[in-house]
Amino acid sequence: MALLRRFVRHPGAVVGAVALILVIATALLAPVLFPGSPWDMAGAPFAPPGEDGMLLGTDSLGRDLAAGIAYGARVSLLVGIVATVVSILIGVALGATAGYLGGIVDDAVMRFTEFFQTIPSFVLAILLVAIFTPSITSIVVAIAIVSWPPVARVVRAEFLSLRNREFVQAAEVLGKRPISIVLTDILPNALSPIIVLASLNTASAILLESSLSFLGLGDPNLMTWGFLIGTGRSVIQIAWWMSVFPGVAIFITVLALNLIGEGLSDALNPRLRKRGER
Amino acid sequence: MELSRLPGFLLRRVLKSIVVVLAIVVCNFFLIHAAPGDPATVMAGQSGAADPAYMEQLRRQFGLDQPLTTQLWIYLKGVLQLDLGYSHRQQAGVAGLIADRLPATLLLTGAAFLIAIAGGVAMGALAARRVGTWADSVITVVALAFYATPLFWVGLMLVLLFSVTLEWLPGFGMSDPGLNATGLALALDVAKHLVLPAVTLGLFYLAVYARLTRATMLEVADQDFVKTARAKGVPEGRVLRAHILRNALLPVITFAGIQAGQLVGGSILVETVFAWPGIGRLAFEALLARDYGVLMGVFFVTSVVVVVFNLLTDLLYALVDPRVEVA
Amino acid sequence: MSTLLSVEGLTVGLPPGGDRPNAIEDITLTVAPGEILCVVGESGSGKSMTANAAMGLLPPGLPVRSGRILFQGEDLLAKPREEMRKLRGSRLAMIFQEPMTALNPLMRVGDQIAEALRVHGAAADAARRVPELLAAVNLPDPERLARSYPFRLSGGQRQRVMIAMALALEPALLIADEPTTALDVTTQMQILKLIREVQGRRGTGVMFITHDFGVVAEIADRVAVMQRGRIVESGPASQVLNAPQHDYTKALIAAVPHGTPAERPPVEPGAPILALKGVRKTYHRGGGWFGKGQSFQAVHDADITLNPGETLGIVGESGSGKSTLARAVVRLVRPEEGEILFHGTDLRPLSREAWKPFRRQIQMVFQDPYASLNPRRSVGEAIAEGPITHGTPRAQALGRARELLRLVQLDPGAMDRYPHEFSGGQRQRIGLARALAMEPELLIADEPVSALDVSVQAQVLALLADIRKRLGLTMLFITHDLRVAAEICDRVAVMQRGAIVEQGPTAAVFASPAHPYTRALLDSIPGRGWTPPPRERPHFP
C-alpha cells in the first residue's frame, strides 16, 4: 500500500501507467474497433489522415493504418511480455546459481554472461531469426536470448551481497535447506531490482521486435508496427503518415514502460528517491 | 594501475579476447548446424539452392562427410585464415565484401560514439549539477524521450524534416556520385552526408550516457571524499570536475565497453535507413537475399570489432583507476 | 581566557516530518586556543550537526533558525560563501569518521594534500611541505607514500593522511568528527596521541566529537554532553567524568563497562562442551585464469576448550581471525584442517545433513542488528522458523516465540510486526530470541553489542548475563572491546593474526598480561586511567 502511494507520487509513473493501460485496451479491443482483417483494403490508396473516413490514413494498398496500429499493439505487447518473462527466467536462474554458489560456478556463469554481453546482440538476433525463419516463436526466442545477460548480472550481484548478509547466515545456522533459504530469504529481498528490470526489459524487447520487423524479419502473418514503418520508408516523400504514426505508437508504449520502470525503481528504493529529490 | 604492471595486464586481456573470438567462431559454427537443412543449404541460401554443382562444392568444403569435430576444425582454420566463405549471390569472397564496407561503418559508429559520449556526459553533468531545477527536468525528459524512440524511426523523421521538407542535408548515401569530388571537397561531401546518420545513431546512446552520468554523479556527490574536498576549501567548480566527475566517469567507461556491441548493431538499422554503404547495409542486403554466409561474416567481424573496443576501454579504465588488478 | 570559537544559541531545523522539529537547539559552547573540547552524545544526538554548522557544511534543507557562530570574533553564518570557503582548510579544518572513504580513490595521497595547499594559494610550497607534513604525522617513507594511492594504505594510515591534510595550513581550529571510531583500539590510541601532540605543538583549538567516554577521559580538557539536540551538561573534563550532574550524563557514564574485571569463581573442569584443535582456515584471493592469487591464513594455532556453563571471550582487532573462528564452529566457514569437537564429536567433516541435529544445540547471535533479520519476515515468524524447520508443530513454535519475546523483555505484541519497526537494541533482542528458540546448549555471540549505543549496550549485556545464568548457557563471546570482555567473560583468549597468543581467566589476563600484544591492547583501552564513579547515586554529606 505504501508502495502504491510512493508510486502514485511520481507524476511520470502515473502518466506512464495511464498510457500503458490505453495501449493495452487498444490491443484488446482491436477486433471490436476494427472488425475485419488489417490486411484488407479499406479505402483509397495513400489517403491522408482524416480523409476517406480513415482516421490515420491508408497505405499504398488502401489498408487502414489505424487498424494496422491497433493490431500491431497486440503483437508488440505479446512479444514484449513473453520475451521478457523468458529472459527473466533465464537471467534469474543463472544469476541466482552464480551468486549463491559462488566460486568456480560463479566464474563460469559470469564468463558465459560476459560473452553474451560482448557479442553484438542485435546482429545475433537478426541472425537467429533469419536462420530459424521469421515467426513469432523465433522472434521471442531470439529476443530472450539476447536480453537475459543484464538480468543475470543484477540477480547475481544481489545474491552475492544477500548471501553474506547476517540474516541469511542466521537461516543457515538454524539448519534451513539451501533451496528454502534461496526461496524465502534471498529471492524475496532481491525482487525489487528484478521487477524494475522486467519493466525496462519489456520496453527494450518491444523496440527490438519493431527493429526486426522493420528489417523484414517480422512474422509474415502478423501486422506489426515495425513492418508498417518498413513499408512506409520507401514512400516517405508522398505518404509521411505511414512512417510517422506507427513510430508514435512505439514511442508512447516504450516511454510508458520506461516511466513505469523509473516509478517502480523509486518506489521500491526510497533511499534513492530521497537523494533524487534533494 | 601502475605503468609497470601494464604489460602483464595487457597480455592477460589480449589472451582473454582471443578466447572470446574463438568462442564466437564456435558459436557461429553451431548456429549453421542448428539451422534447418544441412549447412551447405544454409550457407548457399536460396540463391545457391538451384545449383547442384555449387552445393556439392560447399559440402566438400565443409567436410560434411566427416565427424563434427573435424568439421569444426576445418571451419576454425578457415576463419583464422580470414576465409569467411564465398557469396554465390555477390560472386565475391565474404571477407573482401566486408573489408570494402568496414571503413564506412567505422566512420559512422565512431562519429556517433563521439556525439553520444561528449553530449551525454555534458548533459548528464549539467543535470546533476542543477539537480531539481528546470534544466535538470528538461534534460531528464529529453533523455527519456530519446531512450524510448526506435533508432530507425528517428532516422526517418530526420530525413523527413531535414532532407525532404527543409532540403538542408542529404538523406541518402555517403557521397554525391554526380559531384565526382576528390580531396577536401570529397571529405566535406562525406561529412555532410554523415551528419544525419551519425546524429540518428548517436542520439539514443547520448540519452543513455546522460542518464548514467547524472545518476552516478549524484551518487558520487554523496560520498565522503567529496565532503573532505569541501572541508579543505576546494572551490565548487573544482570539486565537481576533479573529484565528482572523475569518479563518476568510471561507470561510464565500463558502460561504453558493454554497449559497444549495441552501437554496431544499431548501425545496421541506420545504414538501412540512410543507404549508408557500410557492413550494416551489406547485412540488410544479405538478409533480403537470404545470403547467410555474408550475414555470419558480418556477425563475426562486428563481434571482433566489439572485442577490440572492449580491450581499449578496459585499458583506459585500468589507466584511470589505480585499484584495477589489486582489489 | 580568549576564545577561538564561540557558538551562541545555535538552532538548526530539520525538514518537516522528522522525529523532532530541530536537529540541534540552542547550542552554546566555546573552544579556546590550545584546548580540546569533547562533544559527547549517542547517535542522533546532533553532535555531528554542530560540527558541520561550524564548517559551513550543513547539508541542504537544514536551515539555521537562530544563533551565531563566532570564529575569532567574526560571525561565520554571516559570511558570503566564497569567504567561508577561503576559511575552510586554512583557518578551520576537519577530519572525519571513515578514513576508508574520506580520500579520493583516484588521486595520489600527496596530490590531495597539495590540493589543500594549492586552493589556498600555497602551491609553491607543496613539493617541500607534503613530505614534511606526512613525516609530522609519523608516517614512514613520506616521499614514497605521497606517490601512493589511498587504497594502498591502512585505515590508520589514511586517518594520518587526513590529519596531515587538515593541518597543512596550520589552522586555528580543528574539528574532529569521531576520527577514531572506525579504527582498532591500538590504532585509535596512536591517533589520539597524535592529535594531542600536534595540537599541543601548535596551540590548535580542537572540537572533538565522540560517543565514547573512554576517549573523552583520554583526551578532553572540557566536555559538552548532548542529548536529542541539546547540550545537557558541560564543564571541565575531570568534573563531568567524575562528578556528573545531569541524569543523562550519569546514565551514560554508568553504562560504560568497567575496565577492571571482577574475580570470578573458576568453573568446575568437567568434560568440555567444545574443543578446537589445530583448526586452520586459509583464504585464497585473486588469481583468475592467468594470474596467480595470494593466500592468507585467517585462523591457525587457535586451540580452545569451553567448559559447561562458562563464557569464553575471544578478543582481537579486525582481521585477527576471531569472527572466522566463531563462524567455523557453526559451519558458516569450513576450515581445511583440524578438529571441532562438540561433546567429543568432530563436526568439521560432517555433511550438511549430518550437521542438522547439532543446529539445535549450537546457535549464534550476530553483530549487525540491521542486517541480521530478514526485512520481509515478521518477528514471530523469524523466531519460530528454526524450531519449525526442525519439526516442531507450527502452533507450538509460535507460542514458544511469544514466551521468548517476554524473556528478552519485549512485548509479545511484537510478533506480527516487521524488523524495520524496531530500534537496534530491540532487534538485537529479537536475534537473541531467535537463537534461544532452538534451546541451544552453546551460544556463539559475534560482537553482539558493538553496533549499539553505549546505554543500549549495557542493557543488552545485562540481558545476556541474566539469560545465561537462568538457562545455564555456555557462551563463546567474540568482541574487539576489552571493557566488554572484562564485564562478561570468565576467561579470555587474545587473538592476533589468526593465532591465539594468550588465554586465561579474565582477571588474571587483565592484571598481568604475559604476551606483549595483550599488553599493547590493554594499554590502548581509552581512558584506562579513569575509573567511572560508582553506579549508585553518590551520597552527599
- Cβ–Cβ gap C359/A173 under 8 Å: yes
Closest by Cα among A204, A201, A261, A254 to A13: A261
In chain B, what residues touch C111 (CB-CB under 8 Å)?
Answer: none
Do residue B232 and residue C93 have CB atoms under 8 angstroms apart? yes
CA–CA gap between residue B168 and residue B27 (Å, rounded): 45
Please write the tens of the pLDDT for every residue from A229-265: 888 888 877 888 888 889 999 999 999 999 988 888 8
Confidence grade of residue A79 (pLDDT, cut at 50, 70, 90): very high
Give the distance from residue C437's alpha carbon to the nearest chain A alpha carbon, in angstroms. 10
Four-point Cα dihedral B111, B117, B122, B126, nearest 10 = 140
CA C435 to CA C2: how far, in whole Å?
Answer: 57
Residue A126 to residue A239: CA distance in whole angstroms: 28
Which pLDDT score, from 0 to 100, does residue C236 have? 94
- Whether C120 sits inside 8 A of B233 (CB atoms) is yes
Q: What is the mean pLDDT of residues A175-191?
A: 91
Q: Which residues 203-262 of B have a C-beta within 8 angstroms of A?
A: 218-219, 222, 258, 261-262
**Chain C 332-371, CB below 8 Å of chain A: which residues?**
332, 352, 355-356, 359-360, 362-364, 366-368, 371
The three-state secondary structure class of C292 is coil
Contact list, C427 vs chain A (CB under 8 Å): none
In total, chain A counts a number of residues equal to: 278
B4 residue type, one letter: S
CB spacing of B224 vs C102 below 8 angstroms: yes
Q: Given the DSSP bridges, would you call strands C205-210 and C173-177 parallel, antiparallel or unpaired? A: parallel
Bigger pLDDT: C74 vs B79? C74
DSSP string, B170-196: --SSSS-TTT---HHHHHHHHHHHHHH
Q: What is the pLDDT of residue B327?
A: 36
| Chain B residues in contact with A124 (beta carbon < 8 A) | 299
Whether A278 has a pLDDT exceeding 70, the answer reads no
Query: Is 90 exceeded by the pLDDT of residue A66?
Result: no
| Facing residue for C372 by CB, picked from A166, A174, A178 | A166
Comparing CA positions, the residue from C122, C108, C215 lying closest to residue C170 is C122
Max alpha carbon distance in chain B (Å)?
A: 80
The mean pLDDT value of chain C amounts to: 88
Cβ neighbours, 10 Å, residue C196? 14
**What pLDDT does residue C293 have?**
61
Burial class (CB in 10 A: 0-12, 13-18, 19+), B193: buried
Q: What predicted TM-score, i.e. pTM, was given to this entire model?
A: 0.85
From A42-46, B49-53, B112-116, C466-470, the region with the lowest mean pLDDT: B49-53
Task: Compute the average pLDDT of residues C311-335.
Answer: 91
Average pLDDT, chain A: 85
The pLDDT tens digits for C176-201 are 999 988 888 888 998 999 899 888 88
Interface probe for B, chosen from C83, C106, C130, C169 (most Cβ of B below 10 Å), is C106
Chain-chain contact of C332 with A278 (C-beta, under 8 angstroms): no
Q: How many CB atoms lie within 10 A of CB C59?
A: 11
Which grid coordinates are listed for A149? 545477460
Any residues with CB less than 8 A from the CB of B295 and at least 6 apart, and which?
A126, A127, A130, B283, B286, B287
In angstroms, rounded to a whole number, what is the distance separating the alpha carbons of residues C509 and C518?
8
Categorize the per-residue pLDDT at C513 as very low, low, confident or very high, splitting at 50, 70 and 90.
very high
pLDDT of residue C244 exceeding 60: yes
- pLDDT on residue C289: 47
Closest by Cβ to C90, choosing from B16, B233, B236: B233
Whether A278 and B152 lie within 8 Å, measured CB to CB:
no
| C334 class by beta-carbon count within 10 Å (0-12 exposed, 13-18 middle, 19+ buried) | exposed
For A148, phi then psi, to 5°, come to -80, -25
Would you state the pLDDT for residue C315? 93
Task: Compute the distance between CA of residue B265 and CA of residue B201 in angstroms, rounded to an integer.
Answer: 10
Given this model, what pLDDT does residue A53 score? 67
Following DSSP, what letter does each residue of C460-514 receive, concatenated? HHHHHHHHHHHHT-EEEEEES-HHHHHHH-SEEEEEETTEEEEEEEHHHHHHS--
Report CB contact under 8 Å: B149, A251: yes
Q: What percentage of chain C reaches a pLDDT higher than 90?
A: 49
- Which of A12, A119, A277 is nearest residue B24 as measured by Cβ atoms? A119
- Which amino acid is located at B214 in the chain? R
> Comparing C-alpha atoms, which of C16, C85, C84, C10 is closest to residue C51?
C10
DSSP at C273: S
Judging contacts by C-beta atoms under 8 Å, the chain A residues touching residue C62 are: none
Is C389–A175 a contact, with Cβ atoms under 8 angstroms apart?
Answer: yes
* Contact assessment for residue A193 and residue C395, using Cβ atoms and an 8 Å cutoff: no
The interface residues of chain C toward chain A in range 383-402, judged by CB-CB distance below 8 A, are 385-386, 389-390
Candidates B232, B234, B244, B325, partner chain C, best to mutate (most C CBs within 10 A): B232
Contacts of C502 (CB under 8 A, 6+ apart): C493, C494, C509, C513, C514, C515, C517, C518
For chain C, the chains sharing at least 3 beta-carbon pairs closer than 8 angstroms are A, B
How far apart CA C248 and CA C228 sit, in angstroms, is 11
- Across the range C485-511, mean pLDDT stands at 91
Give the separation between CA C108 and CA B2, rounded to whole angstroms.
12
Which ipTM value was assigned to this complex? 0.85
Of A169, A176, A185, the CB nearest to C332: A169
Q: What is the pLDDT along chain B (327 residues), one digit of tens a residue?
A: 666 777 888 888 888 888 888 888 888 888 877 777 666 666 665 554 556 777 777 777 666 667 777 778 877 888 878 777 777 777 778 888 888 889 999 999 999 999 999 999 999 999 998 888 888 888 988 888 888 899 889 988 888 888 888 888 887 877 777 767 777 878 888 888 899 999 999 998 999 899 999 999 999 998 899 999 999 999 988 999 899 999 999 999 988 888 888 888 889 999 998 989 999 889 888 888 878 888 888 888 888 888 988 888 888 888 888 887 643
- Write out the DSSP string of C90-143: TTEEEE-S-TTTSS-TTS-HHHHHHHHHHTTT-GGGHHHHHHHHHHHTT-SSHH
Give the residue on B whose Cα is nearest the Cα of C119.
B234
Mean of pLDDT values over C515-530: 88
- Strand duo C274-285 + C294-299: pairing: antiparallel
Euclidean distance between CA atoms C241 and B100, whole angstroms: 84
Of the residues B28, B152, B158, the best mutation for testing chain A's interface (the one with the most A CB atoms within 10 Å of its CB) is B152
- Measured between CA atoms, the residue of chain B closest to residue A253 is B148
What count of Cα atoms within 13 Å lies in the side-chain half-sphere of residue B179? 15
Lowest mean pLDDT among B56-65, C41-50, C426-435: B56-65
Inform me whether the C-beta atom of residue C90 falls under 8 Å from chain B C-beta atoms: yes
Chain pair A-C, CB pairs under 8 angstroms: 63
Residue of A nearest to C443 (CA): A173
Mean of pLDDT values over C108-126: 90
Question: Quick one: B104 exposed, middle or buried, by C-beta within 10 A (0-12, 13-18, 19+)?
Answer: buried
- Angle at which helices A65-101 and A103-118 pack, to 10 degrees? 150
Q: How far is CA C167 from CA C61, C71, C134, C178, in A?
A: 30, 18, 10, 17
Query: A102 CA to chain B: closest CA distance, Å?
Result: 17
Name the C residues in 277-316 with CB < 8 Å from any A CB.
288
Closest CB to C102: pick one of B228, B233, B247: B228
Q: Does the structure show a pLDDT above 80 at A25?
A: yes
> Which pLDDT value is given to residue C540?
38
